[in-house]
Amino acid sequence: MIEGAIWRKWVFFYVPMALFLLFLLFPFYWMVITSVRPDGELYRPWNSINYNPFWTWKPTLDHVRYLFEETLFASWLWNTTFIALASTAISLVCGVFAGYALSRLNFPFAGSLGTGIFITYLVPQTLLFIPLAEIIRNYRLGDTPWSLILTYPTFLIPFCTWLMMGYFKAVPKELEECARIDGASRWQAMLYIVIPVAIPGILSAGIFAFTLSWNEFIYALVFLSSPEQKTVPVGVTSELIRGDVFFWGPLMAGALLGSIPVAIAYSLFVEHYVAGLTGSVKG
């Protein structure tokens, strides 16, 4: 694509690309460097002399140790993992079933149901969190992981359904008909023929749902109150800040360690994640 002088390549490609990468990745570098930097270096005024904020010669693991010994960070990690996995599993089962029904079966109101599920996909969590908090309290689910495991599917199922509909539509009808002629019931044809073909879609929906539930904040903030029940984002926000005092070392270490599980999951399934992301907007 790029022809002509070498300087054109620098001006129109390398320099903008480098600036984009700097802008997008610098906060993560800052997170890493802060979490290994001793407190003495951390709290130096920005205009003090001989101060290089971008590097440290005395890396320390004190902040990480503080996180695991003085706070409930380990429980938060476990809670977040459990909640994310459970709500992803529920959403995948519901989404695959609903996606199959809406894309391959004929029944009354199929079209309007599909539209209805699409609309719930667009409902932001912040619209309903206050009445939902009341309902969670009435169901006696408050301050338990179930308050999140049952509510996260409300924004995960519509997404999974929407994505799976796209994958199921691409499976040829003949494949299913062959299985039915060979004596499979509708249920068997779905379970053993159509769903296995759509496994890439299930992986995409799963990894996407997992990152979304790991990311969720406002429901977790409102529904959970005791420190040992919290998820990583809420625990870091509420337990590492005392009044106006920010413990930046442990905070950044917590942000870093809290990001690693989801980053690992993402790196294992990058292609599926991107397929899910682009599938979700293309519909």
Partner 1 sequence: MAIAETQVYLPQAPRPRLRLLEDERWLAFVLLVPTLVLLGMFIAYPFVRGILLSVSSARVGVPGDFVGLANFYKIFNDGIFRTSAYNTFVYTGVTTVFKLALGLWLAMLLNRNFRGKAFTRAFILLPFIIPTVLSTFAWKWMFDPTFSVLNWLLYHLGLITSRINWLGDPDLAMISIIIVNIWRGVPFFAISLLAGLQTISPELNEAAAIDGAKPWQRFWHVTWPLLLPVTMVVVLFSVIQTFADFQIVYVMTGGGPANATHLFATYAYQIGIGTGILSEGAAIALAMFPILFLVVIIQLLYIRRVEVR
Residue 158: φ, ψ to 5°: -55, -40
User: Could you identify the residue written with the tokens 């599938």?
Assistant: 279
According to the 3-state scheme, what is the secondary structure of 172-194?
A: CHHHHHHHHHCCCCHHHHHHHHH
Find the binder of partner 1 among 64, 83, 157, 195 (CB under 8 A): 157
Of 136-155, binders to partner 1 (CB under 8 A) are: 150-151, 153-154
Look up residue 81 and give its two tokens.
């993992």
Rule CB under 8 A: say whether 82 interacts with partner 1. Answer: no
Of 20, 70, 169, 196, the one binding partner 1 (CB under 8 A) is 20
Choose, by CB under 8 A, the member of 51, 61, 78, 196 that binds partner 1. Answer: 51
User: Does residue 106 bind partner 1 (CB under 8 A)?
Assistant: yes
Cβ closest to partner 1, residue 47 vs residue 226: 47
Identified binder of partner 1 from the candidate list 142, 145, 166, 233, rule CB under 8 A: 233
Q: Residue 151 is encoded by which pair of tokens?
A: 């509510």
Chain positions 163 to 182 lying near partner 1, rule: CB under 8 A, are: none
Q: Which of 189, 192, 197 is nearest to 171 (CA)?
A: 197
Binding residue (CB under 8 A) for partner 1 from 31, 85, 89, 197:
31
Among 30, 59, 169, 228, binds partner 1 (CB under 8 A): 30
Task: Indicate the length of the chain as a whole number.
Answer: 283
Residue 44 found at the interface with partner 1 (CB under 8 A) = yes
Cβ-contact 199, 93 below 8 angstroms: no
Q: How many CA atoms lie within 13 A of 100 on its CB side?
A: 19
State the nearest-atom distance from the C-beta of 232 to partner 1, in Å. Answer: 7
Question: Where do the DSSP E strands lie in the chain?
Answer: 241-242, 245-246
Site for partner 1 in 187-206 (CB under 8 A): 187
